[in-house]
Structure 1
Amino acid sequence: MIIRYERNGKVKHGWMVQEENKVRVIEGDIYKVESAKPIMTGLELPLDEVSLLAPCTPSKIVCIGLNYKDHAEEIGKELPAEPLMFLKPSTTVIGPGEPIVYPKLTENLHYEGELAVVIKKEARRIKAEEADDYILGFTCAIDVTARDLQWRDGQWTRAKGFDTFCPLGPAIASKLDYNDLRIVTRVNGEIRQDSNTNQMVFTVPQLLEAITAVMTLLPGDVVLTGTPSGVGELQPGDEVSVTIEGIGTLSARVNKEE
């Protein structure tokens, strides 16, 4: 699995070998394809000697609302006829273990555990059957939402756009059966969401076709594919985690804004 890490003030990509607690250092651009593929240097580092960062640095995060059947049923909404899209700014992104800041402007902060798609190369007006060629891999995400602001504004930019509102990580898994993955969200160790990506209304390829009909996705951009049932509130001091089969666990603690 691909990670992005910091060591001695330098940021690099690596290949995480969890069973050996090692990182194999990668040189070059992980988004380059064919003749310009990144190379393994042969250098290995102990995993505990590096600090994990968000595994990518997207120019934008494209999010999909109401994309799980169990979540739609939970809130009493009809299934959408087409994907419901919204954006989170790049400044919302944080990495594993970094704190989510509970802003003073909200009194109702919510978690939404999600499968995130990381884009490999520029994608514009692609077809669903081509989608896999444009995917670098998958990671865990938490779509943090100021729910009271969402309802008050009637649109979602402010509620979804605060700094720290998009934890990503811990790594990018490059080969997964994304149509059948268990996704579990816990708050302080208690399971709050427990579902499967087979509950998605629109599949990953369908989402990429719909999104790229509207906007160009760039290497490193991220698509959040929606959240299952069980969304709920967070309080300062809570620890929230999302575990996705084949990827791992992303955790973050909630800190009150100073």
Structure 2
Amino acid sequence: MANDTVLWSVDKRGVATVTLNRPQVNNAYDGDLIAGLHAAMDALGREASLRIVVLKGNGRHFQAGADLAWISGVATQSPRENEAVSRLTAEAIRRLDTCPVPTLALIQGGCFGGGTGIAAACDVVVASEDAIFSISETRWGLMAGIILPQLCQAMGLRQVRRYALTGERFGAHDARRLGLVHEVCPTGGLEEAGNRIVEAALMNAPAATTATKLRSLAAARAFVDDGELRDLIDEHARTRQQDEAREGLASFREKRKPAWYPSG
């Protein structure tokens, strides 16, 4: 099954493949892609034979974060409309995080902003050697609030305090050292590496696997409850409409340094 921005299918083994499909903008997310992710998860939730979900990005890059041209348009809408956009985004991440079957992200090229949140929300992450990561929201006057719980679980607070506050880029081997990535494979080797992990997961009992995943989240206090989710959504939506976001997005459009960069 497919829509324009997200493709999904399930093979006879119960292995689902979900592919982000906006390669012309490096799979940057917009409203359609978020809706496509929800539609994919709705459809896969009806698959009784589902055993594992493999998440990919079509083209050269896995996922380049938010489509900043789209974000600029969203920011001009009402606070209620901004909150609705943030809620759909946050709920997509939470659904991926708590998906009852194992999830595997295969990452090539750029994985920025929200892409790092998608990676952190998956159970297993394999990156090719050409992968580049960045928690980049603050560069544009935005903030990564709705993915910070998952990033802190994956990387640890100490590392998030560096990379979310500097926006620095880091490569696949650093991402593995930091805990965001489990395995690095040669460029072009994602399918082979992914198949090996899928085969390992298929050897395990389905109900026991689901119970183990959900109990692990509970034991680590890693569930985002409704109250915390409301706070994350509210802050995420409000930040998008503040002066720093307007200036950051303008600097992106105009290909210049933002006003807060020291001029001296």
Give the structure with the larger strand fraction.
1
With structure 1 as the length reference, what TM-score do the two structures score? 0.29
RCO comparison, higher one (Cα < 8 Å, 6+)? 1
Give the structure with the larger helix fraction.
2
